[in-house]
Structure 1
Amino acid sequence: MYLQSPLTTSPGTALPLDRQQAAAAVLQLVLLGALTTAAGLGPAGWLAGIGYAAGLHALLAGAARRARTEALGPADLVTLGRAVLIGGVTALVVDGLVAGQLALVPLVALASVALALDFVDGRVARRTGTVSELGARFDMETDAFLVLVLSVQVAAVTGPWVLVIGGLRYAFVAAGWMLPWLTGSLPARFSAKAVAAGQGIVLVVAAAGILPVAAAVVLVAAALTALLWSFGRDTLLLYRRRATL
């Protein structure tokens, strides 16, 4: 997902950022209401969903302000829609953990659509000429949070070690606060993108319960191994480049 360039309003987008975010907040409430009717979403799910929406609003507004962005472009709106779906996933996971009963079908459906749309926003950005560094970061953070939430759900079935998948990226960022060389730029690699995309797909399959637990454990362990390899390779490359920082 890509945010618009500084001090510009994206082509074909009439609403300013605050109205776009307000619309997203309304859609989030509508989705939570639909999940209440269709899946019995309880108070814990509502609290999680509303808390998520408030955090998304604050973080996106702050990022756009620092980038001097006045409105989201077409691709940005795709990712904002993905973010709303992830709010529904978050609400379902939290509600399932508290109530002890997960609404599996809507969770898998919402997560699957959110993952599928991840292949759309980048193409839209390139076709509309609205690619930006901040937009790419927004997309990455959206993906990372979905993986984190899904890892929490899968961990409830396969064991807490799965949380490493969701937490590794955040641990890497935290380590960068103490080791500045970890914040260096990395070359774009297809393998890294494939590994990152695979985490969400594997976690959705594991969460769906369509595999025996033993098979799900093997599949998730393979995904974690690939993720550790990808992060390890990036860390080694950044370490070798640290003298230039």
Structure 2
Amino acid sequence: MGRGRMSRSHQGPVVGLVAQVGLLATLTATTGLGLVGWLAGAAHALAVYAALDAGLRRSGASGLGPADRVTLARMTLAGGAAALVADTARAPAPVAVLVALAAVALVLDAVDGQVARRTGTESALGARFDMESDAFLILVLSVFVAGSLGPWVLAIGLMRYVFFAASRPLPWLGAPLPPSMARKAVAAAQGVVLVVAAAGVLPRPAATVLVGAALAGLVWSFGRDIAWLHRNRRVAVAPVRPRLQYRLVPPVPERPAAPVQQPHPAGTRG
């Protein structure tokens, strides 16, 4: 491969970066996205580029798979939503556009998993990318909804990140969890509920009850998983210690045995 040609593993992150800039330019032309939104969107694009490029290098993958491209589209839409929410510091967000971006991202969330299974391209990197895309979109939506319902809504978006931060001092929190349809249902409900609340189609009391129920379900789901991880924290396989190597150097040729001396009359020396 020549120096001037881009490696295949590098193409995916670059495509994502270009797509994000293109979406920001489109939002500027259609909604008047301002400087604050551009800064937020650009920061998101650079962070995704760096994280995805590093992930591809660590995994040794030759490039993004079909499902990863769908997830990258979701992350790009989430970046556009983040830019619109950040720009509310300057002007009210165009709710219809924000809801549309989030809704399409949620629909694609049901697509990338099917694409991965049908094409046989499931991977640890793809699963992590999918999870981060979900978490970021939920965080963006919770920030927007918190502006109308109150800061308590931020708990929905921050819970996953707090859990991740807690797994550093408590490594048992990072152990793999058994599959759970209940966990998937609760996670999917967060995005749907937040989109409905963001759209403003419900009266404030009804939206508060709906979002509160979603938060309660999320607390229950995380609590159940944490309890399971705590009960099984001692079952984790201990790291395998390397066996002691006794022959670190070539063996020394044996010398003729020395004549055996008779013990001293006073006894032997221990």
Question: What TM-score results when the alignment is normalised by the length of structure 1?
Answer: 0.92
Query: Hey, what's the Cα distance between the residues in 2 that align with 1:140 and 1:160?
Result: 24
Q: Equivalent residue for 1:209?
A: 200
Match for residue 237 of structure 1 among 222, 228, 236: 228
Q: Give secondary structure in 2 for the equivalent of 1:178.
A: coil
Q: Equivalent residue for 2:267?
A: none
Q: Equivalent residue for 1:137?
A: 128
Are 1:149 and 2:140 matched, yes or no?
yes
Query: Hey, what's the Cα distance between the residues in 1 that align with 2:235 and 2:37?
Result: 47
Match for residue 93 of structure 1 among 85, 96, 102: 85
Are 1:223 and 2:179 matched, yes or no?
no
Are 1:46 and 2:60 matched, yes or no?
no
Q: Equivalent residue for 2:149?
A: 158
Return the letter of the residue paired with 1:46: W
Contact 2:13 2:48 (8 Å CA) reproduced:
no
The alignment covers a number of residue pairs equal to 231
Match for residue 56 of structure 1 among 27, 40, 48: 48
1:15 CA drift (Å): 7.5
Query: Hey, what's the Cα distance between the residues in 2 that align with 1:86 and 1:169?
Result: 17
Query: Hey, what's the Cα distance between the residues in 2 that align with 1:18 and 1:139?
Result: 19
1:20 CA drift (Å): 2.2
Return the letter of the residue paired with 2:147: A
Contact 2:78 2:101 (8 Å CA) reproduced:
yes
Query: Hey, what's the Cα distance between the residues in 2 that align with 1:139 and 1:15?
Result: 23
Runs of 4+ in 1 over 4 A off after TM superposition: none
Are 1:184 and 2:175 matched, yes or no?
yes
Return the letter of the residue paired with 2:13: Q
Query: Hey, what's the Cα distance between the residues in 2 that align with 1:36 and 1:203?
Result: 24
Question: What stretches of structure 2 of length at least 5 have no aligned partner?
Answer: 1-5, 237-270
Q: Give secondary structure in 2 for the equivalent of 1:243.
A: coil
Greater C-alpha Rg = 2
1:17 CA drift (Å): 2.5
1:32-60 CA distance string (max 9 Å, x none): 11111111100000000000000000111
- Which structure has the higher relative contact order (CA within 8 Å, separation 6+)? 1
Match for residue 26 of structure 1 among 18, 22, 34: 18
Question: What TM-score results when the alignment is normalised by the length of structure 2?
Answer: 0.84
Question: What stretches of structure 1 of length at least 5 have no aligned partner?
Answer: 1-13
1:130 CA drift (Å): 0.3
Contact 2:9 2:57 (8 Å CA) reproduced:
no
Which protein has the bigger helix share?
1
Query: Hey, what's the Cα distance between the residues in 1 that align with 2:162 and 2:111?
Result: 28
Query: Hey, what's the Cα distance between the residues in 1 that align with 2:91 and 2:149?
Result: 16
